[in-house]
Structure 1
Amino acid sequence: MPEIKGRVEALFITPKGENISKPIEGGIFTNEGLIGDRHFGVTMLSNSRTPEFQRGAIIRNRRQVSLVSQDELDATAKELDIDEIKPEWLAANLLISGIPHFSQLPVGARLFFDGGLVLFNDGENFPCKIPAKTVQNQYKHKEGIQEKFIKAAMHRRGLVAWVEHPSQLISPSTFEVELPPVWKNLWG
C-alpha cells in the first residue's frame, strides 16, 4: 500500500473568545492540545456538536486541534465563486497540503509529524454557521455566501484531532498518515 504523506503549510492559534485564528511560526502541543488555543484542554463542555450528551456536560475534548486542506479550501471557494477562503477564517490550527480528500480520512487515522507530534483523527469538522458568517464578512459585497457555505464546505471542512503524543511543531514540516487496519485495503 502506498504511504500517505502530507505537508504542514502553516500553523495558527485561535485566542479564547475569538473566531479567527492568527498565524504562528511554531507551537507547543501537550496532551491538552495547542498551548494558547481556545480549544486547549483535556475536557470540554458538550454543545450542539455533541447532541448525545446533555448540553454543558463535561466530556473528552476531541477538538483540541483543527486541520484544513488548502486543496479543499480552494474547491470550496470555487464553488462559492469567491477568490479564496483563508484557514484563519475557519479558526484552523494547521493548514496542510498533499492529501486528496483530506477531510475524509477515517476516524482513528494517526498523523505522525516531523519532530514527534502525533495527532489522532477524531473525524470530520462539519461546517457550521460561525465560519460561514466569518467568510461572508470577508465578502460583504457578495450576498448569499453564508447561506451556501455549509453545503459547499461539506466533506471539505477539515478534521478535528486530539494530541496522542506531545511535541513542538514548526511550519513548514511534513507528516505521514497511519490508517486503522480495517481501512488499509480501502484507502490509498
Structure 2
Amino acid sequence: MLDLFPEAEKPVEIVPARKLVAKVAALYVAPSDHFETRPVDALRLGFDGISGDFHAGATRRSGGREPWYPRGTEMRNERQLSVVAADELAIVAERMGLAEIKPEWIGANLLIEGVPHLSMLPAGTLLFFKDGVTIKVDAQNGPCRIAGRSIAEHAGMVDIEASALLFPKSAKRLRGLVAWVEKPGTIKVGEEISVRVPEQWIYPS
C-alpha cells in the first residue's frame, strides 16, 4: 500500500501548546479620528472591536502592509486591538535614547504584564480574560514611521523625521501584537488573563 506520508528526512519539530498567566496593566482607547490613545479603566468590546475606536470595525482598508491588494481595498479587520508590554517598550526606548515610550503614543489598547517576549506570541494565541472576554492574536504589529513620528513629537526629539525612521529599526519584533475580538464583553484594569499558546511548528522548506 502506498505510504502517503513517508517519514521525512528532516522531521518537523512540534512545540507543544502551553498556558501562561498574565494581567491587564493598563487600557487605552483612541478617538475615532486619530490613532493615539488615552488611558481608561475599562474597554467594552464587541465583535467590531472597541466601539468608537480609531481601529474599530469588522472590516478595514488595506495599506502598505498588504502589497498584494490595491491600497484601500476593503478586507477583514484583524487589527482591532493593539497589545504591548512595558518591558519591550523600555528596550525600544533605550535603543532610541529615550527615558520612556508611553503606550498611548503608539496607539496601544492593552498593556499586558507577565508574558515574557510578548511580541513573539504566535498567531492563534488566545487571551481569555477572567470576566469572559476572549481575543485572538493575529500577528506581530510591524513598527512604522507614523508611530515613530508620534514618539518623536511627544518626546521632543530634535530631528523628527530621522527619529520617526529610527523607530521601525529599534522596535522590530518588540512592537507588540495585533488581535481581534473572538468573544465580546468588558475588560478591566487589573484583570487576570489566561494565555493559551497553540501548538507550533516551522513549515519545512
Call closer, same or farther: CA 1:53–1:7 in 2, change over 3 Å. Answer: same
Q: Does 1:177 align with 2:195?
A: yes
Tell me the CA shift for residue 141 of structure 1. 4.3
Cα distance in 2 for residues equivalent to 1:80 and 1:172: 29
Q: Which residue of 2 aligns with 1:160?
A: 178
Greater mean alpha carbon deviation, residues 159-168 or residues 13-22 = 13-22
Q: Does 1:126 align with 2:142?
A: yes
Q: Does 1:71 align with 2:51?
A: no
Q: Does 1:35 align with 2:51?
A: yes
Q: Which residue of 2 aligns with 1:113?
A: 129
Q: Which residue of 2 aligns with 1:186?
A: none
Q: Does 1:9 align with 2:37?
A: no
Task: Give yes or no for contact 2:35–2:54 (8 Å, CA) kept in 1.
Answer: no
Task: Give yes or no for contact 2:19–2:197 (8 Å, CA) kept in 1.
Answer: no
Q: Which residue of 1 aligns with 2:165?
A: 147
Cα distance in 2 for residues equivalent to 1:19 and 1:30: 19
**Which structure 1 residue ranges, 5 or more long, are not aligned?**
184-188
Dislocated runs of 4+, deviation >4 Å: none
Cα distance in 1 for residues equivalent to 2:47 and 2:55: 12
Paired amino acid for 1:165: K
Call closer, same or farther: CA 1:178–1:142 in 2, change over 3 Å. Answer: same
Cα distance in 2 for residues equivalent to 1:3 and 1:105: 12
Paired amino acid for 2:101: I
Question: What is the aligned-residue identity percentage?
Answer: 37
Paired amino acid for 1:148: L
Call closer, same or farther: CA 1:57–1:2 in 2, change over 3 Å. Answer: closer
TM-score of the superposition, structure 2-length normalised? 0.85
Larger Rg: 2
Cα distance in 2 for residues equivalent to 1:178 and 1:53: 32
Tell me the CA shift for residue 139 of structure 1. 2.6
Paired amino acid for 1:125: N
Tell me the CA shift for residue 57 of structure 1. 1.4
Greater mean alpha carbon deviation, residues 122-131 or residues 136-145 = 136-145
Q: 1:23-81 deviations in whole A, cap 9, x for unaligned?
A: 11111101110112111111111111122222111110000111011110111111111
Q: Which residue of 2 aligns with 1:23?
A: 39
Q: 1:129-167 deviations in whole A, cap 9, x for unaligned?
A: 111001110232444432311111110101000000111
In structure 1, the residue corresponding to 2:200 is in which secondary structure? helix
**Structure 2 counterparts to residues 36-55 of structure 1, below 5 A:** 36-55=52-71
In structure 1, the residue corresponding to 2:119 is in which secondary structure? helix
Q: Which residue of 2 aligns with 1:84?
A: 100
Counterpart pick for 1:104 among 108, 115, 120: 120
TM-score of the superposition, structure 1-length normalised? 0.92
